[in-house]
Structure 1
Amino acid sequence: MQTLHLELQEGFDDDRVVARLNGVEILNLEHVTTRMQTGFAAAGSTQATEGKAVLEVALPASGQQASTEINLIQTLWAGINVGPGKALQFRISQAPFGYV
């Protein structure tokens, strides 16, 4: 088993966020808002079987959703950001993200 850390970062503004890993809900948060001083909004983590997986994130109120394939061969951090037009963007890292 490997750990996947989800970190909701830039661009969230009172959003409901739902995340699924291989179709299984792993995060469901309401009123997610980015703290301007740190660029951090919320976080969660889950254990998952090693191997390829699909991470899906949705903002149900705006109808936006996106997915990315990840390879869980070690602990990973997935940074999720909201860009222009509420487009979801992923940053996958093998090391924790830094916040001020």
Structure 2
Amino acid sequence: MATLSILLGDGFRDDDVLVKIEGRDVARKSHATTDLRTSSAGYVEVSLSQAAQLTIEVPRQGLTGVVDVDVEVNPFLAVSIESGALVFRKSDKPFRLM
């Protein structure tokens, strides 16, 4: 098993963030709020044994997004809310906070 580290970035305002794989809840972060000094609302970590399709939900803002991840290639994922939509960025290196 490998760990996918999910950075919650810009756009979160006291939100619950749900992470699902194949419809099954695998992680949750409550009251996620972006710190404008760092552009971070915290991290969520998910253990994966293979590539998977993640569904990220932010119910209060009515947002849902789907992203394919391969933790062996890109063990880091950033999720931001921009212009009313979830935006995903994958990386093989940790994201630098401001």
**TM-score when normalising by structure 2:** 0.89
Q: Distance in 2 between matches of 1:35 and 1:80?
A: 14
Matched residue, 1:90: 88
Q: Distance in 2 between matches of 1:4 and 1:90?
A: 13
Q: How many pairs align?
A: 98
Unpaired runs of 5+ residues, structure 2, are none
Deviation of residue 31 (structure 1)? Answer: 1.5
Matched residue, 1:21: 21
Deviation of residue 74 (structure 1)? Answer: 4.5
Deviation of residue 80 (structure 1)? Answer: 0.4
Q: Distance in 1 between matches of 2:21 and 2:77?
A: 12
Does the 8 Å CA contact 2:12/2:81 hold for their aligned counterparts?
Answer: yes
Q: CA RMSD in A?
A: 1.5
Unpaired runs of 5+ residues, structure 1, are none
In structure 2, relative to structure 1, the CA distance for the partners of 1:75 and 1:91 (3 Å cut) is closer
Matched residue, 1:60: 59
Moved over 4 A (4+): none
Identity fraction in percent: 28
Q: Distance in 2 between matches of 1:17 and 1:46?
A: 13
